Amino acid sequence: MNAIYLVTDDRLADVAGVQAQRLAEQWQCDVHIFVERRDPAKAVREFHHGDRIHYHYEELGGLVPEGLPEDRKWPRIVYMRLFAPSLLPQYDRLLYLDADILSLRAEPAVWNVDLPAGIGAVSDIATLESAPYDLKGVSREKWLAAVGVKSGRYLNSGMLLIDTAKWLKIDFAAELRRYFAAYPEAARYDQDFLAHLFDGRWTELSPRLNYQAYVMELGLTRAVAPVFVHFCRTQKPWYGDSRGWRAPTDPSYTEIYQEMFRTAGLNPDDYTRPNKVNALRRARYRLRLWLRRFGVISGRERRDIETWRKRSDSFLHFMQKGLATGQFADEGRKRLDAPRCAPVFDGRFAVGVENRPDLREQVKEEASRV
């Protein structure tokens, strides 16, 4: 028997709830939502799908050792995903998902992937070739050494496939204390910890199971055919349509969330979060588009298109090599067959237009306004 679980606070409880309904319907399995409220007296709206969705309140906080490092981006709640399996011992396999991950379809074969160390995960795509963007001037090798990773492999903890019996043999409280005493420079707390604890032993899964924001606009979505899309960037699709030079996220994802909210009886407008671009920047972006109509290509466009191609080439190489060598334990494919689409520069972002049929017209429309 298998189940999916999410860990959230009350701020994302509705998003997690509508996602749980979608997961229960698609995957036909139990879904557990662990809610850690800032105010335990605060009511949380619950969502159900038959008897498949189960809520838990404030059950995990007490299991996490005191004194672990945390900050605004990586708060204490990130550790709680490690302890939830101890409350779900009745399941053979568990699939953990961040609340900002969207399930596009079920992939039941995932439950049968062999997990010798008890964990399957996807590489952190943004750090395949370099250290995290905020570590200026630090090599990838030096960064990995500082967080205790010797294998060169670093995972993203937003999606974890877990063999419950093997997981429960680990004393995570003790291991966490030991880890941060030995590696005080670790700053992506639970993720660094897991990459170290299972260094070289975690089963690598295809990026289709954790299709991260870093690669969404690189023109390969159709080829990769993601199962889970991970919106690990500041602008979330439920905040509203991200066109208008706020983020390059495909607006079709916003439409999916809006439909999920409506189906659950919620008003999508209640979850939007305006993120306006100031007038000066908007004018600058439009000017680039207007000049482009006359064959004047800005330095910004040249640089961004070149960066897009390098990133897209790198990710394509990673995927093709991984498929050809059997690196991804969940994949049966030997190569990506769907073509990569070309980028379009919208004045601020270079974006692959495979899922953006509106984008070319949008670029023309914005340019004509200047």
pLDDT in tens, 276-309: 778 888 888 888 888 888 888 999 999 999 999 9
So what's the pLDDT on residue 345? 87
- Residue 226 reports pLDDT greater than 60: yes
Identify the pLDDT of residue 193. 98
The DSSP element (H or E) to which 301 belongs, if any, is helix 299-325
Q: Do residues 233 and 332 share a domain?
A: yes
**Which phi and psi (to 5°) does residue 53 adopt?**
-100, 130
Nearest-angstrom CA–CA distance, 242 and 349: 12
Find out whether 16 and 6 touch, Cβ atoms under 8 Å: yes
Check the CA dihedral 28-34-40-44 and report its sign: negative
Instruction: Provide the number of structural domains found in the chain.
Output: 2
3-state secondary structure of 168: coil
pLDDT tens digits for range 39-54: 888 899 999 999 999 9
Binned at pLDDT 50, 70 and 90, residue 358 comes out as low
Claim to verify: residue 270 and residue 296 sit in the same structural domain: yes
Domain enclosing residue 124, as ranges: 2-205
What's the pLDDT score for residue 78?
Answer: 95
Give this prediction's pTM. Answer: 0.92
pLDDT in tens, 156-172: 999 999 999 999 999 99
Q: Identify the pLDDT of residue 74.
A: 84
Mean pLDDT of the chain: 91
Under a CB-based contact definition with an 8 Å cutoff, are residues 78 and 189 in contact?
yes
CB 1 within 8 A of CB 91: yes
* CA dist., res. 113 & res. 109, Å (int): 7
Tokens 């030995």 map to which residue?
A: 182
Half-sphere exposure of residue 59: CA atoms within 13 angstroms, side-chain side: 18
Nearest 5 degrees, angle CA 256-CA 257-CA 262?
A: 100
Start-to-end CA span in the chain (Å): 59
Last residue within a domain, chosen from 205, 220, 249 = 205
Q: Last residue of a domain, which of 170, 205, 240?
A: 205
Q: Residue ranges of the alpha helices (H) in 59-137?
A: none
Asked if residue 96 and residue 43 are part of one domain, the reply reads yes
Most confident of 18-27, 65-74, 131-140, 286-295: 18-27
- pLDDT for the residue 355: 52
Within 13 Å and on the Cβ side, how many CA atoms surround 115?
A: 22
Q: Are residues 226 and 187 in the same domain?
A: no
Q: Are residues 187 and 246 in the same domain?
A: no
Contact 148, 192 (CB under 8 A): yes
Residue 335: burial class (beta carbons within 10 Å; 0-12, 13-18, 19+) = exposed
Residues 320 and 237 in one domain: yes
With cut-offs at 50, 70 and 90, classify the pLDDT of residue 356: low
Handedness of CA 104, 223, 208, 114 (dihedral sign): positive
Question: Does residue 323 share a domain with residue 178?
Answer: no
Question: Could you tell me if 309 and 328 lie in one domain?
Answer: yes
Same domain, 18 and 167: yes
* Structure token pair of residue 252: 């079709």
